[in-house]
Amino acid sequence: MKPPLVLHVEVGGDYGGSLRALELYLKYCDRARCRHDLLLYYPVEGMERLRLLVRCLHVLEPRAPQPHAPSPLRRPTCLRGLEPWMKLGAHLPLARRLAHMVRASGCDLIHCNNTFTYQAPTLLAARWAGVPVAAHIRNPLHEGAYERWLAKFATLFLPLHAGQEEQLRRLGVHGSIVRCPDGIELPPALSCRAEAIRRQWLPEGGLLLGTLGRLDVQKGYDALIAAAARVLPSHPRARLVIFGEGAERPQLAAAIPRLSLESRVALAGFASDRANVLAALDLFVCSSRWEGVPLSVLEAMLAAVPVVATQVALAGEPRLLPLLAAPAAAPGSEALAAAMDYALRHREEARARAATAHAWVERAFAPGPAAARLDAALVRSATPGVSTVVRNYYETAYQQPRWQPQAQPAAPGSRFTKMWYRAVERHVLPRLDLAGRRVLEVGCGFGWLAPLLDAAGARYVGVELAESALRQFPRNLAASTPVLADACHLPFRRACFDVILCLEVLEHIPHQQALLAEIFRVAAPGATVVLTTPSYSNFYLPLKLLADAGSRACRRYLTHQPIDHLQFAFGLRSQFARYGQIIEQRAIRLHPPFCERLDARFGPGRGPARLNDWLFDLERCRGASFPWRYFGLHTCFVLRAATPPGAQGAMRMSV
């Protein structure tokens, strides 16, 4: 069996810390465990090094987009929250292209090498292609509705440190969380090359201060230049050099002469030989306004260079703070200048801390163990299954009274309870030849259907992942067996069931394609497969969108379970058609929202509640015909598995 194929996706544009971390992982990964492809949104200088480490390197666009000049118009405050959603809408064509590429690649897992909020098109493409996503977290997350919604698309999160892990838990993500710090490695520095860099920027000797990174607002280089204007006059033999390229270069280039620093501060451009640049420095300065843990800081520590950094840059990894050459700087150029001045005045202390930092980083961020941790996480995620968060949710839910088996109440509105079970019982089960048949229900809960199927003479097996649900399974049924198992890893041999039921499960499974593949793997030739799942091609779509955006009122109305996909009957039909022949599609609950409240207010069939009677009659008579079959809150599909010539299925119905 081939190892899983992982498609690493990176925005690109410049060879930043995330690409350097990926390059080191690919250098040390175990190729017997995973195969690797790489997709770049935009080309980057030096990407040829990556081409040697992967099977295929894809580049989506021929060149990176030019940075836009900031608009002179101030956006209204009320519209700022809509900006990420508007950008997402503009990226939909890109997401479509990515989805085609993902399907063509045949990958088993997508790895977002950037923080997932920077790769919204990748997340959408993965959802459309039915491929699970592992998302690295390299930057602090804004805990808003947009981020919560995007987080639903990932099944594995890879924070670098405990601070990011805690932020993910506050965000309420439902995927697995595995902490995977990046490995750190530097090639040996060449003393002659390091000395040449020093002579280039310090022709008369002195102290060389420097930093490496993308010229971006996030890096805070404008504050660093302002800090240099404060501290360099006190150290006449010191000079600051900023190595990197990016969109902020024009603004930074304009700030240097404005502060009269032409002879003291320089923008050196992109540096490919980082080890020699770091070896040439007397002090490394990190001025980031927000950050995970900057890879350049760890590299500087590994090179035994004294480091000054802002508090926010290292907030997620407090163990690094005592290793700095000066106390971590608060936000602002004045505090950063004070930290730089302290390190320059206490050089012996700074060198001693740099030696301690070198030993600690070399031990804690060894590239081999880091690659092994990431290998293990990616392999587990590429093998579909239910996350621990989801499993724990249902274990707890089935211990609550409203999830436990009981006689259905006769109170008004009760005819809207578990309508999918009632629809299958009324419209599907009577047309199945169940006597002596092997029947599997995936996601059986506490066994609501077990007595009905047992009475019909079926040999029934119910699969459920929550042990608390199976403890409530009926015990007096001779031919019914409960099984504790993951729906994406069914413990049965191939082609061993004649009828398979999967009711209201698909929408809660992160790997829907994996579940469908398992169902049809255990389906015998000609077997009947019954699937029900919600569809939002109806009046419930606004409620669902508001619930996903965080509206508490709508989340209370639409039961908000850990994973609850937004899906439509049109798309479901084309998805299911790839696995079997569709025999019937039926709408369940054509009623608009709040219709059950009419029953509760007026009583069934009384006053305005007569509307519900009319809609129930419409569903019974026309629910399986076009166009009504597309507009129910739930939709039921009856499929027939692939049948060899001459084989007979379990269904007795006209096609």
**DSSP string of 232-285, one letter each residue:** GGG-TTEEEEEEB--TTHHHHHHHHHHTT-TTTEEEEE--S-HHHHHHH-SEEE
Give the CA angle between residues 547, 553, 558 to the nearest 5°.
Answer: 55
Residue 71: what pLDDT? 55
CA dist., res. 374 & res. 336, Å (int):
35
Burial class of 59 by CB neighbour count within 10 A (0 to 12, 13 to 18, 19+): middle
Report the side by side order of strands in the sheet with 156-159: 57-59, 35-42, 5-12, 109-112, 133-137, 156-159, 176-177
Task: Give the chain's end-to-end CA distance (angstroms, integer).
Answer: 39
Burial class of 186 by CB neighbour count within 10 A (0 to 12, 13 to 18, 19+): middle
Give the CA angle between residues 524, 529, 531 to the nearest 5°.
Answer: 155
pLDDT at 551 over 50: yes
With residue 618 as reference, give the H or E element that holds it.
helix 610-622
pLDDT digits (tens, 9 = 90+) for 497-524: 999 999 999 988 877 888 999 999 999 9
pLDDT digits (tens, 9 = 90+) for 14-31: 777 888 899 999 999 999
Question: What confidence category does residue 112 fall into, taking pLDDT thresholds of 50, 70 and 90?
Answer: very high
DSSP assignment letter at 310: B
Residue 642: what pLDDT? 80
Q: What's the mean pLDDT in 148-163? A: 88
Compute how many other C-beta atoms are within 10 angstroms of the C-beta atom of residue 107.
25
Q: Provide the total of helices (H) and of strands (E) in the chain, helices listed first.
A: 26, 19
Q: Which two tokens stand for residue 547?
A: 């619930």
Bridge partners, residue 501, by sequence: 441, 530
HSE at residue 557, side-chain half, CA atoms within 13 A, is 20
Q: Are 494 and 471 in contact (CB under 8 A)?
A: no
User: Picking from 3-7, 62-66, 213-217, 563-567, which range would have the lowest pLDDT averaged per residue?
Assistant: 62-66
Domains along the chain with CATH numbers: 5-66+95-183+369-383 (3.40.50.2000), 191-364 (3.40.50.2000), 412-589+626-640 (3.40.50.150)
Burial class of 27 by CB neighbour count within 10 A (0 to 12, 13 to 18, 19+): middle
Compute how many other C-beta atoms are within 10 angstroms of the C-beta atom of residue 405.
14
CA dist., res. 632 & res. 585, Å (int):
11
pLDDT at 550 over 80: no
Question: What confidence category does residue 560 fall into, taking pLDDT thresholds of 50, 70 and 90?
Answer: low
Question: What confidence category does residue 527 fall into, taking pLDDT thresholds of 50, 70 and 90?
Answer: very high
Residue 420: what pLDDT? 82
- Residue of 48 and 413 predicted with greater confidence: 48
Q: Are 528 and 651 in contact (CB under 8 A)?
A: yes
Bridge partners, residue 381, by sequence: none
Bridge partners, residue 35, by sequence: 5
Residue 84: what pLDDT? 86
With residue 125 as reference, give the H or E element that holds it.
helix 120-129
CA dist., res. 360 & res. 375, Å (int):
23
Residues, the chain = 655
